[in-house]
Amino acid sequence: MMLRLAWRNVWRQRRRTLLTVSAITFATLVLVFMLAIQYSTYAIAIENTLSVFSGSFQVQRIGYQDDRRMDDTIADPNSLLAAISERLDTNAVAARAYGLGLISSKQRSQGVEVVGVMPTEEGRVSTVPHLIVEGRYLEKPEAMEAVLGKPLASNLQVEVGEELIFLGQGRHGSLAVAAIEVVGIFDSGAEELDQGTVHMPLPAFQSTFDLRDDVHAIVVGNIPLAQLEAASAATQALLPNGGVLEVVEWQRLIPGLEQAIALDQAGAWIMYLVLVIIVVLSILTTFLMSVMERIREFGVMLALGVSTRRIASLIMLETTLLVGLGVSIGLLLGSAAVEYLRLNGLAIPGASELASQFHLPSVIHPRLTPLSVIAGPLIVSVLTLLAALYPAGRITRLKPVDAMSAV
C-alpha cells in the first residue's frame, strides 16, 4: 500500500516530477558518459606510452631503477628470456643495456643515454623500430651503428651515413669509446626519448661497455593493461631466489605518467562533484516545495494516528522512486551514447596535435567500465537521498494541530 501511495504522490505534480527526473537523468548521463571517456583515455594513454619504449614492465637487478649503476647487471639473460616468453606465452620479450655518456658530431656534442637493443627483437617490445623517418633501423648485431631521435639529430647537425664519437664510462670504471655510424633517425613524438636517446646493437654495446654477455633489463611488452598485474606476478615467480632481481612495473618506469593521471583524476572528480551538488540542491528545493504543500495533509494523517516515522518513510520512498527512475534513464542513455562512440569513435576537431603529445589516437573509442557504470549512478543516488533526509526530518517534528492549521 505504501508503494502504491508513494507512486501516486509522485505523479500528483507531473511537471515537477518530470523536471526532477530530468535533472537526475542529466547528472547520471553526464557522469556515465564522462567517466567512460576519461578512464578509456587513461587506458589508451598508458598502453600507447608503454608501447613506445619502456614496455609493459621490466626485470632488473634490485636497485638499478633508482641508481642506474652500470655494474648492476643481469647475468645469463638468455635462459630468463626463454622462461618468461614461455610462461607468459609471448614473444614480446627482449634484453636491453643502458649507458650514459657524451656523443659528438663534427659540429656539436651532447649528453645522451645509449641503449643497447636486440635488433630483431626490439620491434616486439617498442614502436621505435617502426617510427624510422630517415634511413633504416638496426640490422647487424655486431655493427657499430646507431639510430637516434630526430630532435637529437637536428641538434647534433648529423645526417644518415655520418659518424658520431661516443665517450662514456663502462663496467668497473672502464672507458667506453666508440665510433658509431648513424643509419637511421626516428620520431616517436616523446620529447624526452627523441632528444636524448641513441640505440645501438646490444652485442656492440656490450663490447663497448665491457659488459661481456650481461644486460641491465629484460623488457616485456604488449601485455594488456587488465592483465599486467597477473603477468608481473607470474614473472616475479620465475626470478631466482635470493632477492637479486625484481619486476619493475610501469608506475616506477614512468612515474610522471601516473602522477599526471592522478592530477587529472582529482580535477575531474572535483568538477563532477560540483555538478552533482548543483543538481542535488535544485532537487532539494523541489522536495521542500512538495513537503510544504502537503503539510495540512500530513496533519490529517497524524490526527488519524499515522506516525511521523511512517510519513517520513513515505517521503523517502517517493524520493527513492524518483531517483530510481532518473538514474535508470540516465544510465541507459549514457551507456547507449558510449556504445555508439565505441563503434563509431570520438574525434575532437583540432586536438590531434595535443593528443599525439599524450600518445593518444586522433579518434578515441571509449568503453564502458564497471567504474563508469556504477560510480556515477551511485554518487547521484546517495547524494540525492541524503538531500531528501532534510524535508523528511522536518516531518518527524511536526505536530498535528500546527500542521492542520498551516496555510
Burial class (CB in 10 A: 0-12, 13-18, 19+), 218: buried
Residues 240-276 have pLDDT tens digits of 866 789 999 999 998 888 888 889 889 999 999 998 8
- Residue segments in the chain with a per-residue pLDDT below the cut of 50: 354
* Structure confidence at residue 359 (pLDDT): 57
Task: Provide CATH 2.40.40 ranges for the chain.
Answer: 96-213
Residues 45-100 have pLDDT tens digits of 888 888 888 899 999 999 999 888 999 999 989 999 999 999 999 999 999 999 99
* Structure confidence at residue 350 (pLDDT): 52
* Structure confidence at residue 401 (pLDDT): 60
* Structure confidence at residue 43 (pLDDT): 85
- Which CATH number is 96-213 given? 2.40.40
Q: What is the DSSP string of 341-394?
A: HHHH-EE-TT-HHHHHHTT--SEE-----HHHHHHHHHHHHHHHHHHHHHHHHH
pTM beyond cutoff 0.95: no
* Structure confidence at residue 241 (pLDDT): 67
Q: What is the DSSP letter of 132?
A: E
* Structure confidence at residue 400 (pLDDT): 64
* Structure confidence at residue 61 (pLDDT): 93
